[in-house]
Structure 1
Amino acid sequence: MIDWFRQRARQERAMVIQAPGHEARHAHRELYISLLRQCRAQPDRSDSLCATCDLRAPCWTLLALPLRGEAA
C-alpha cells in the first residue's frame, strides 16, 4: 500500500508543476500533501524504506511545519 501512496504522490507532484491554472495547482498541491501524510502514516513504513525515497525531503518538510507553527 505504501508503494501506491508514493507513486500517486509522485504523479501529483508532476501535476502541480504542469497544472494550467492557480486553482488546479492548488487542488493538486492539496492532494499531494494529503498523499504524503497518508504515506507517512502507513504502519508498514520504516526508516530504511524512507531513506531511499525520492519524496523524503518534502515529506520531512511537511512533518516539520506544525513544529515551526506553520500551517500546511
Structure 2
Amino acid sequence: MPHSGRRRRCPRPGCPWQAHCGSGSAVLSFALQAAGPAALGEHELPARGRAVIALMARPALLAGLVTVDVAGDKWLP
C-alpha cells in the first residue's frame, strides 16, 4: 500500500505515547548515569577517560546554551 504522505496527528496535545517516551528517556538516562559508579566502584577513572570527559565538557555546555538561545521561549510550556 503506497504511503499517502500524510502524517497521523494526535487528536489532542499530551498524548499518552509522549508521556511514555518521556518516562522511558528519564529511566534510561538514570540507568546510564548509575552504571558508571556501579561499574567503577571505588576505582578512579583512567587518565584517558578523564581527558575525554574534559574535552567534551565545553562543547556539550556550548551546545546546550546555543539550543536554549535558539529555541528561546518555545521550551517553556
Fold-level match, TM-score > 0.5?
no
Q: Which of the two has higher C-alpha Rg?
A: 2
Higher helix share: 1
